Structure formats: C-alpha cells, structure tokens
Amino acid sequence: MKMDYCIGCLPKSEYVMYVDASGDDGTKLEAGSSLQYAVSCFLMRREDIQHNTNILFQIKFLMGAREKDEVKYSKVHRHPKKEQIHALLKNVKGYLSSSIVFKKEVLHDTAYMKSLGGLSHALSILFISFLSKELGNSSVAIYVDRMKQKEMRLVEYILGYHKDRGSNLPSHTIEFKDSKAAGYELIQMADIFAGITRRYFENTLENNDVQALNQKCPLCYKAPARFFCRKDKSARNRALRIHYIDSVMHLLRNTENVCSQTSLITFPVKHKAHYQYFFCMKK
C-alpha cells in the first residue's frame, strides 16, 4: 500500500528528525508510575520520508486504523498482528538514538526529576552534535511531539544555549507538533521506537540471558578485544528478541556506524556499559 505524503509541506532541509517519548515523569513508582522514561530521536534523509510513511500506513492498515488515526505503541504491543507489525519496522530507513532514564536511581535528584521531560528531550536531541560524519553541512528539521509549555521552553533554551556557544550542533529548526497532524505523522513512528525501548528496559531486568550479558559487558567495555558474549551468541540473540528490540537494532546500528558516540544513552551513565551487547557484533 503506497500513500501520497505531503513532503512539500516540510522545510527544504536535507534531514528530518522526529522525537517522542514513552513513560511518565511521575515519582511514585510503587503506585504505577513508569520505572523508566525513554526518548527516541528518529533521523532520516528527506528522500526516505515517503518510504517510512508508507510503512507507518501499512502498520495502521494491519491494526484496522484509519490513515488519520494516531498509532501508539501501547496498542501495538498488545495487537494480535504485532508479529507482522514488528517485521515491518525492520524495513524502516534512517538512524535512531534513544535515551533511557532509570528513574529509581535518579529520584533523589529533585531538580532533575522536576524537569525530566524537557531535559531528557533536549539531551536526546543534542545527540545530533555527534553525527557530523553523516550530516556534514546539512540542516535538520526537528519535530517533537507537543509537551507541557515549560518543557518545550526548556528544550528550546538548552538547544539555543548550545548553539550560541559554538557547539557542534548542526544548523536546525525545531517545532512542536501534534503527532496526529497531517504531514507530521512520523512522530508516531518515534513513539513506537520509544515504546519498544522503554518496554525492553523495564521488563528485562530479571531475564537470565540479559543478566548474564549485563555482567560481561562492562568487561568488554574496558577491554573490547575480549568479546565475552561471542562465547554465547545464542543467548545474545535471545536477549535481543525480547520485546522486539531487534526490530529497531538496524536503526541504532546505522547511527553507530556514522557516530562518534554510542546511540544508546543512559541516565545514570554507568548503565551504558551493561548494554554493549547491543552493538558488539554488528555483522
């Protein structure tokens, strides 16, 4: 199924990034607040917008939704056709970076928690500063799902602060859009990626394969030549199939190939070393 998409509605930037989050900023974890908060930044070349939008519409078709309906990952992961939907995601073109906040470990930082949404979005978007190898002198049009006014102002302030101080932040525009708005539907794809990411990190903490790899990865992180997890490739493959994280791995690895930093950002930072199995065997 191929749909016409309003590419001409977007600014003539060479790249477009769509940003959305999964989770909440609540602090009462025992009362049902999410354990993690995830933000996904989905970057693509302008010429791939049509391709990726067609995949989004195919997902909507499988779910029995209309083209103008909003698709949220909270519905996708419970849908009877979720296997087919996640298979479609493996054909998406672009680059992905995702940040994960382990909320339980940052609850003591009240200042951070008060600005969790805005800070997490801003720090995730700043990731494009490390993509100079891919972006070159290209500009990026950034579209973020609407948030609270104070959060949107904080995102604009942080990006403006870095731009004014001569950082490597590329030329860009940023707008906050409703993910249901015509021409900006790919924000819904960013929501799907954020949902997959949060669900993986929230629900694999007790998994035996993941626990084993979490223990080995810091050793590889300090001495990459060891590659401990190569001794149990089947366990690694099982770990990457949990909650369909494998459906976004090609996008994370695309970013790894053109980036000077890892495409997976964690808060606290120490957790990053525990998830190197995401990238240690790219081929």
What DSSP letter does each residue of 38-88 carry, written as one string?
EEEEEEEEGGGHHHHHHHHHHHHHHHT--TTS---HHHHTTSTTHHHHHHH
Per-residue confidence band for 266, with pLDDT thresholds at 50, 70 and 90 = very high
Q: Output the CATH code of domain 7-204+249-272.
A: 3.30.420.10
pLDDT at 172: 92
- Indicate the pTM of the whole model: 0.91
Helices (H), the chain: 49-63, 73-76, 82-89, 110-114, 116-125, 132-135, 149-164, 187-203, 208-222, 233-241, 249-258
Q: Specify the DSSP element, H or E, that contains 177.
A: strand 172-177
> Among 187, 244, 196, which Cα is nearest to 70's?
187
Query: What is the signed CA dihedral for 69, 26, 31, 198, rounded to 10 degrees?
Result: 60
Cis previous bond, 11, omega within 30: no
Asked whether the beta carbons of 192 and 38 are under 8 A apart, the reply is no
> Among 17, 61, 3, which Cα is nearest to 182's?
3
Q: Which residue has the tokens 């579209």?
A: 143
Q: Which residues neighbour 57 within 8 Å (Cβ) at sequence distance 6 or greater? A: 1, 3, 67
pLDDT at 226: 60
DSSP letter for 136, please: T
Is 47 buried (19+), middle (13-18) or exposed (0-12) by CB count in 10 A? Answer: exposed
> Among 46, 248, 213, which Cα is nearest to 141's?
46
**pLDDT of residue 3 exceeding 60:** no
pLDDT at 235: 84
Domain ranges, ordered by start, for the chain:
7-204+249-272
| Per-residue model confidence as pLDDT tens digits over 23-36 | 999 999 988 899 99
pLDDT at 251: 97
DSSP letter for 259, please: -
| Per-residue model confidence as pLDDT tens digits over 171-214 | 999 999 999 999 999 999 999 999 999 999 999 988 998 998 88
Q: Specify the DSSP element, H or E, that contains 175.
A: strand 172-177
Total count of residues recorded for the chain? 283
Q: What is the mean pLDDT of residues 239-249?
A: 95
Q: Which residues neighbour 165 within 8 Å (Cβ) at sequence distance 6 or greater? A: none
Q: What is the mean pLDDT of residues 117-130?
A: 95
